[in-house]
Amino acid sequence: MTINLLAQSDKYTLAGFVKDAVTGEALVGTNILVYYDSINFNKPALTGTATNKFGYYAIPSLDFKKYILIFRHLGYKTTIREISLTEVGRSETFSIELFPEDIRLQEIIVEGEKQEKILTSTIDISPELLANLPTLTGEVDLFKSLEMLPGVGKGSEISSGLYIRGGSPDQTLTLVDGTILYNPAHLGNIASTFNSTALSDIRLIKGAFPAEYGARLSSVLDVKLRSGSKEREKGTVGLGTINSFAAFEGPLDSNSTYLVSGRYMYYDIIQKNFDAESTTPRYNFYDVNAKVNLSVSEKSVVAISALYSKDHAYSPSSVEDTDYDIEWRNVNLSLNWLQVNTKSILLNSIVSYINYNFISKIGINPASLNSYTYFSNPNLTDLYFRQNAEIRWHQDHLFKTGIDLAMHNYDVLYSDVYTEALEKDPYAGTDITAVEAAWYLQAESQFGSRLSANYGGRFYYFGSTRYFNFEPRISVAYNFTSNIIMKGAFAIAHQFLHLIERNDITLPTDLWYPSTKNIKPSYSTQYVLGFDTYWFDQSYAFSVEGFYKDMQSLYEFKSSIELDPLDDSIEDQFTEGKGEAYGVEFFLNKRKGNLSGWIGYTLSWSKRQFDELNGGKVFYPRYDQRHDFSIVLAYKIIDDLNIGATWVYATGQRYTLPPGQYIFDPVGTGGDPQIQFNYKGINTEMFPAYTKLDVNLNYSFKWLNTNFETYLTLYNVYNRQNAFAQYVVLIENEEGEQVPVLKRISLFPFIPSAGIAVKF
Amino acid sequence: MKRLLKIFFALLLITFSGCENEELLTPQFDYEEYIVVQAEIQANRYFPAVRFTKTLPLGVPYRIEDAELKNVTAYLKRNGVQIIPLLYTSQGLYKTLDDLFVVEGEIYELFAMRDETFIYSITRIPYKPEITNAYYNSSTYSINASVNAKEGEVYAAMWIVTTTPAVKADDYYAVSSADPGTNLIVATSPLPQQYRGGNYSGLRYIQVNSFDQSFEAYFNSRTSGSEITDPFVQGGGEIIWNVQGEKTIGLFIGVSRGTPQMVF
């Protein structure tokens, strides 16, 4: 096939999209090699590139000649096209569709890099690998899988979000199809709030992220979802022990597709019926995702997405001392327009509406007859506009630039007493409106054959504080050989929105609060240095990365808080401090073959210092983990049978324990003296080491002309009683005296679970 | 969408198994001894005593004979001039040799020495609360009182229902403070359901007590030392004491009890 493209000057830019010929999905990371009029594999290609996360490529600076293009993508038939550049038009779109090969994929593994070898601390994860890893719900569990990577810590078994390189979950920017998600995971990271059956591309940047990302302090999780198959209508319906899900997709017409999914998790119902005395929080959630993709033209695609998720955790009747009722809700609506202009500039415009609502009603000691003694209801509403432009003006230089504009409204309601009237009072609480604006410029350049760099900067403006600042970002890679790459990075990042949580409660108590005149933006300075090596035709990759992160203007609640909305400002209850995190990560990754997976180890420290906490002394946050070792393996036994296993060994979570007891008389009320505990510092002790083995078996078969997928998961195979909580309680000895002893609670023992999904 | 008809479900294979597990352990952590001081000095009464004890490790029963300190050298200074020695009596209690009548507005300082540790605290005896109005708040079910705020004082209230026998709140609901000379609303905790009806309207009382201002910080932080009874709660917050000294905690506080006021 010969294609004549037009040109009018002496240089030409060839650009376009690469898609799956069957489903119409964009293919990320397709390699495109350009040869002169004949292919000689003994000579290197004239030039080459790879598609970005939209499946887009651009090859600039081509002469008016005949070229041969080779499109190669794992799992797809290699496609060769001949192109003659002869006439008018300095750039033109040349899109192509690749056909899948019949054979199963051999390479499905996490890659330290895909097409951008410049970025440090970046891991791209294959959705195919995730599908073979063990999960409690039987669905792809992105967040639990990410916790297996070096540098990603393990929170408690009911905590949500990612603890990356000593940062708290709010310090990770989560983007789903370019739209921010405030709470991307359900409780305990048991599942993502977005459609995990439609994962297309997953990128985790653990630190020193490039200038195109901002508004968070530590790290980025950038997820792209599929658009829905153009081939035919498809569906998956799954039934599991604690949740069920359904997903449907297909073409609406020749130019548009849809994808809709829903999920309901009914853990609380199972608990009530099978384990009524359990003190584990009663919990349920549901979520609905929908996406419509419309190809306006070969150069223009519009996607409309909607997401709604709601979680509810509440205290079981078996718990007498604490009463809690916690609900949170995500609403995201977005319009995403991807277009290529006449100069082969890729433009991506996103308009999104985001609403995140979190209601905490907690009574720690309901003896006061006022059942809830802590009530907070932050309601965040954002209207975002983002536009990014990508220009490959030279073969060795790719420029990206873009703007972010956001209108934030934060309505924060809080009180030390709960009434329905207060919750419904539209005038109660603190109402803050702020404008956030950012502009970035970023370049990805190759200097000679060995040195490459990603460099740029981001200008920030935050309205409520009139705060303006600049964030430089640079990441450099030097190839000693094709298999040994040295990397380093430096970045400064700001965060205007703070997640302030109760230190004395391990239940989720999200209180997002923006920077104001009194609450400064947090900022971090990050340094990364490391190297990557590859062996055996790049079947194995090994990387070592050291990092240091300094964090300023972090906020936490004071030790004792007063939440009378009439008398006390919520800002008076916060205290400002700083933190640092440093460590080294080792990552051995087997990338090809029937057996694939990785071994990761992290040695790290995370520290905090607040003048008004812990007597001003440095302390470790709960999620500080000195050692974190994990093994992840996936093995294809036969074509339809896969086994996956994960094993983790990590330093136990930190907690606070009193070193002594004393008696004290109630003051002014009379009554008997009571035994009290003298705490000397925050998080001075550690739980026993956390270790767990999970195994998963996936089997696919066809019956009555219908495809079935079954799974069997063995969670916590050797029934390790990992501590979820440890605290001092009083028991009576034989003489009737009260003795303080340590009580340890562990949540999830060995749990076998199974389920089946129907695909049609 | 016709193919939806092809869907059918298969049920779970394994029954959900039980979840959390609890075990009791003997704590094995470094014990660090602290001195504990407590005195509640009430206006218009005789000076009670100052109790000096030490903390005990976890894992053993609390016995006062193990905790009391007998070797403390302590004295009071009244209004900055009068020195009054304190002498050990029993169970860690140190008393004045002669009865000492405490008067509103007086300032007491505590000086003590145990081994190499110097201990100090100061408190002012507050005035009896001056209540201008008291009423039952039917929306919060609490009894409220208006109090004339005075310099250096904070206020807290409890409800009392004079049934037979009388019942009263276990604890204060909150500690309130305001600029001197202003009117301050002090509230009790909500009345129990059974005492909210009109038939108790003549039996409901509010008692407002005034405290030295350092009580407010202690009150708001005191639960940090309480026993934890729930796995989702973590202790470890700082209690704000008004006794100073290396590895010393405690409260040396002046109190003035108000006269209960009937509300309808």
Please tell me which residue of chain A has the smallest CA distance to B211.
Answer: A668
What pLDDT score does A386 carry? 94
C-beta of residue B32 within 8 angstroms of C-beta of residue A660:
yes
pLDDT digits (tens, 9 = 90+) for A256-306: 999 999 989 888 888 777 777 777 778 889 999 999 999 888 888 999 999
What pLDDT score does A568 carry? 61
Distances (CA, A) of A559 to A513, A607, A662, A671, B238: 18, 18, 20, 26, 6
- ipTM of the shown complex: 0.87
Least confident residue range of A23-27, A38-42, A413-417, B20-24: A38-42
Confidence of residue A576 (pLDDT cuts 50, 70, 90): very high
What pLDDT score does A508 carry? 72
- Are B12 and A753 a contacting pair at CB < 8 A? yes
Confidence of residue A84 (pLDDT cuts 50, 70, 90): confident
Please tell me which residue of chain A has the smallest CA distance to B184.
Answer: A567
- Are B225 and A278 a contacting pair at CB < 8 A? no
pLDDT digits (tens, 9 = 90+) for A510-536: 788 888 888 999 999 999 999 999 888
- Are A239 and B10 a contacting pair at CB < 8 A? yes
- Are B59 and A613 a contacting pair at CB < 8 A? no
Confidence of residue B12 (pLDDT cuts 50, 70, 90): very low
**CB of B201 within 8 Å of any CB in chain A?**
no
Return the DSSP state at B170. S
Confidence of residue A103 (pLDDT cuts 50, 70, 90): very low
Which of chain A's residues have a Cβ under 8 Å away from the Cβ of B220?
A: 560-562
Average pLDDT over residues B187-204: 85
Helix, coil or strand: residue B31 = coil
What pLDDT score does B16 carry? 44
pLDDT at A241 over 80: no
A550 or A754, greater pLDDT: A550
Please tell me which residue of chain A has the smallest CA distance to B24.
Answer: A743
- Are B55 and A661 a contacting pair at CB < 8 A? yes
What pLDDT score does A42 carry? 66
Confidence of residue A71 (pLDDT cuts 50, 70, 90): confident
Query: Who's near A681: CB < 8 A, 6+ residues apart?
Result: A614, A615, A617, A619, A656, B236
What pLDDT score does A315 carry? 82
Which of chain B's residues have a Cβ under 8 Å away from the Cβ of A613?
A: 238
C-beta of residue A60 within 8 angstroms of C-beta of residue A392:
yes
pLDDT at B171 over 80: yes
Question: Which residue of A237, A674, A749 is in closest CB contact with B17?
Answer: A749
Mean pLDDT of all residues belonging to chain A:
83
- Are B17 and A752 a contacting pair at CB < 8 A? yes
Question: Which residue of B38, B64, B237 is in closest CB contact with A664?
Answer: B38
Cα of B86 to nearest chain A Cα, Å = 20
Regarding pTM above 0.90, the answer is no
Q: Give the Cα separation of B32 and B57 in Å (integer).
A: 8
pLDDT at A6 over 50: no
Q: Please, which residues 174-193 of chain B have a Cβ atom closer than 8 Å to chain A?
A: 174, 189-190, 192
C-beta of residue B123 within 8 angstroms of C-beta of residue B41:
yes
Question: Which residue of B218, B234, B251 is in closest CB contact with A504?
Answer: B234
What pLDDT score does A89 carry? 57
pLDDT at B14 over 90: no
Average pLDDT over residues B141-155: 93
The most confident of A49-63, A123-137, A215-229, A540-554, by mean pLDDT: A540-554
Residues in chain B: 264
Residue percentage of chain A with pLDDT more than 70: 90
What pLDDT score does A721 carry? 86
CB A269: neighbour CB atoms within 10 A? 12
Confidence of residue B1 (pLDDT cuts 50, 70, 90): very low
Give the residues across from A265 on adjacent strands: A243, A285
Nearest to B37 by CA among B62, B72, B83: B72
Q: Which of B15, B19, B23, B256 to mutate against chain A (most A CBs within 10 Å)?
A: B19
Whether the link from the prior residue into B190 is cis, omega within 30° of 0, is no
Confidence of residue B2 (pLDDT cuts 50, 70, 90): very low
Which of chain A's residues have a Cβ under 8 Å away from the Cβ of B50?
A: none
pLDDT digits (tens, 9 = 90+) for A467-514: 888 999 999 999 988 889 999 999 999 999 898 877 777 777 778 888
pLDDT digits (tens, 9 = 90+) for A434-459: 899 999 999 999 898 889 999 999 99
> For residues A422, A425, A431 and A435, what is the CA-based torsion angle, rounded to 10 degrees?
130
Q: Which spans in A371-471 are helix H?
A: 420-424
Q: In the structure encoding, which two tokens stand for residue A398, read together?
A: 């790719």
pLDDT digits (tens, 9 = 90+) for B51-93: 999 999 988 999 999 999 999 999 999 999 999 999 999 999 9
What pLDDT score does A563 carry? 67
pLDDT digits (tens, 9 = 90+) for A529-575: 999 998 887 788 899 999 999 999 999 988 777 666 655 678 888 99
What pLDDT score does A575 carry? 92
Average pLDDT over residues A117-128: 79
What pLDDT score does A91 carry? 62
Confidence of residue A8 (pLDDT cuts 50, 70, 90): very low
Q: Which spans in A434-565 are helix H?
A: none
Q: Give the Cα separation of A324 and A314 in Å (integer).
A: 5
- Are A504 and B10 a contacting pair at CB < 8 A? no
Please tell me which residue of chain B has the smallest CA distance to A417.
Answer: B140
Q: Give the Cα separation of A590 and A235 in Å (integer).
A: 32
Q: Give the Cα separation of A557 and A612 in Å (integer).
A: 10
- Are A727 and B234 a contacting pair at CB < 8 A? yes
C-beta of residue A464 within 8 angstroms of C-beta of residue A497:
no
The most confident of A28-32, A347-351, A701-705, A745-749, by mean pLDDT: A347-351
Helix, coil or strand: residue A520 = coil
